[in-house]
Amino acid sequence: MNLQDRLSTLHQLAAHLTGPEDEFLTALQKRTEFNNAWFTLENQQVSIKAIAGAFLTEEKLAAWLNGYKITPVAGEGFVPQPGSGGEGQKTVGLVLAGNIPLVGFHDILCVYVAGHKAQIKQSSKDEYVLPYLLKLLAKFDERAAAYFELVDTMADYDAVIATGSNNSARYFETYFAKVPHIIRKNRNAVAVLSGEETEEEMRALGNDVFQYFGLGCRNVSKLYVPEGYDLDPLLHVFHEWKGLQNHTKWKNNFDYNYALTTLNKESFHLTGPLMVLEAEAIPSRIGTLHFEYHSDKKALEKELLAKREEIQLVVTPSDYLNVDLPTFNYGQAQQPALSDYADGVDTLAFLLGLLGKD
């Protein structure tokens, strides 16, 4: 398959996912929810819709690839422009995370577009839907099946992209040290508020906090608010997510963290399903959200840069900060484009760099 053949299958997948309901896909999503209650049917459908609309359309794919000096050819992979090496398909091992539905799809997409073969180790938390999506690609063009292999144990790979916790990342760094690799660790999004947010912007920020139960690396886990900021209006808006208390796993985590915080005699603000605590740490536990006051925007920018290895992105009003970090407006944290690479590492450039290497 050449590049245009592969893109064609992706366009067809987008059309399928946005067309009439696929009852078999829905059944797989229900099975996933039964085995992993964090992956509700609604959240899985949100993820599918985002993939189809933001990743797979002809317009989005063309605009994305236009940013690379590559030329499609009638063979495997790309031919880079002169001076950037030769060509040759590689096997790329993918260790997928399982924190939110189909979180590893972007890596698979990059490998496929680059013309390499993806050797995929799925997370046990999300193992039913992805194989079906790959089968759909093969249905649209049977040659696509050769580009994907689902495995329990990876072997004979030329490069690796692995995502996990900080602890597993240390293991990955050692285990995959001899091959080209991208190793991703824990990161979170933070939000920097101006103090002039409208109710609509606060509600959009709530989506950044609560979508996917806050389990994604792009979910906001900490707020930076101006000195003297009145939290009450924001807490009033966040109370609209009180329905999360009806979710057993969320409720169990909330109850545990509520008891722990109370026993430790920590002060906190309470709203609906959430405790809001003043803390320096960026990661926050399920059912909690950290916040910190700031009075000097320049000092805050320096602090954010110093913690850039912990920060996936910053949610803040447009042009509010002057900081070399990915920034998104309220409500857009979980709406990445194809070029919004995790941890700021250009996955497609990495994969194209493998071409011509033995």
From first to last of its 358 residues, what are the pLDDT tens digits of the chain?
Answer: 899 999 999 999 999 999 999 999 999 999 999 999 999 999 999 999 999 999 999 999 999 999 887 654 434 444 443 333 335 789 999 999 999 999 999 999 999 999 999 999 999 999 999 999 999 999 999 999 999 999 999 999 999 999 988 889 899 999 999 999 999 999 999 999 999 999 999 999 999 999 999 999 999 999 999 999 999 999 999 999 999 999 999 999 999 999 999 999 999 999 989 999 999 999 999 999 999 999 999 999 999 999 999 999 999 998 899 999 999 999 999 999 999 999 999 999 999 998 743 3
Q: How many CB atoms lie within 10 A of CB 163?
A: 25
Determine the straight-line distance between the first and last CA of the chain, rounded to whole angstroms.
22
Looking at domain 3-186, its CATH superfamily turns out to be Aldehyde Dehydrogenase; Chain A, domain 1 (3.40.605.10)
Residues of the chain with CATH 3.40.309.10: 188-328
Question: Residue 128 has which token pair?
Answer: 């039913």
Q: CATH: 3.30.70.20, 3.40.50.11900, 3.30.360.10, 3.40.309.10. Which one for 188-328? A: 3.40.309.10
Give the helix/strand (H/E) hosting 61: helix 58-65
199's CB contacts (< 8 A; 6+ apart) are 233, 237
List 226's β-bridge partners, or say none: 294
Q: Are 117 and 111 contacting, i.e. CB atoms less than 8 angstroms apart?
A: yes
Q: d(Cα 165, Cα 334) in Å, to the nearest integer? A: 20
Full-prediction pTM beyond 0.75? Answer: yes
- Cβ burial of 297 (10 Å; 0-12, 13-18, 19+) is middle
Question: Residue 119 has which token pair?
Answer: 């050797």
Residues of the chain with CATH 3.40.605.10: 3-186
Per-residue model confidence (pLDDT) at position 82: 33
List 80's β-bridge partners, or say none: 70
Question: Residue 124 has which token pair?
Answer: 């046990």
Strands (E), the chain: 70-72, 78-80, 91-95, 117-121, 148-150, 159-163, 181-184, 188-192, 220-226, 269-271, 274-278, 288-294, 311-315, 327-328
